[in-house]
Amino acid sequence: MENLKARIAYLEGLADGCEIDETSKEGRILVELIDVLGDLVEEIQSQQEDMDEYLDLLDEDLSDLEDYVYDEDEDDDFDLYDEDYDDLFYDEFEDSDLEVEE
């Protein structure tokens, strides 16, 4: 982008150095074209800065989402097999439970 600004500045300097008559039809066209090119470069630069800012925000949001979905650190508290879970439904079986009372 800086290269474009430098080239526009060069064209402005060249137009001043060539002493283009701004009162002639050709002179007015050339000067106006140089001004329009300068305005276009500034607008493109502004749009590019806005786009960069938007992409940074989007990247942060995506990073947060990836952390939420793929983060394994938070899943360390969850075991697929919980030993205490079985205790809720089954008693410990002991040999004394087989003895029949008379």
pLDDT of residue 34: 92
pTM of the full predicted structure? Answer: 0.57
pLDDT of residue 55: 97
pLDDT of residue 58: 97
More confident residue, 31 or 81: 31
Contact 40, 4 (CB under 8 A): no
- Residue 31 has a CB neighbour count (10 Å cut-off) of 17
Measured CA to CA, the distance from residue 63 to residue 50 in angstroms comes to 20
pLDDT of residue 62: 94
16, two tokens: 């001043």
DSSP-derived letter for residue 81 is S
Mean pLDDT, all residues of the chain: 82
For residues 57-78, average pLDDT? 81
Measured CA to CA, the distance from residue 68 to residue 46 in angstroms comes to 33
More confident residue, 51 or 99: 51
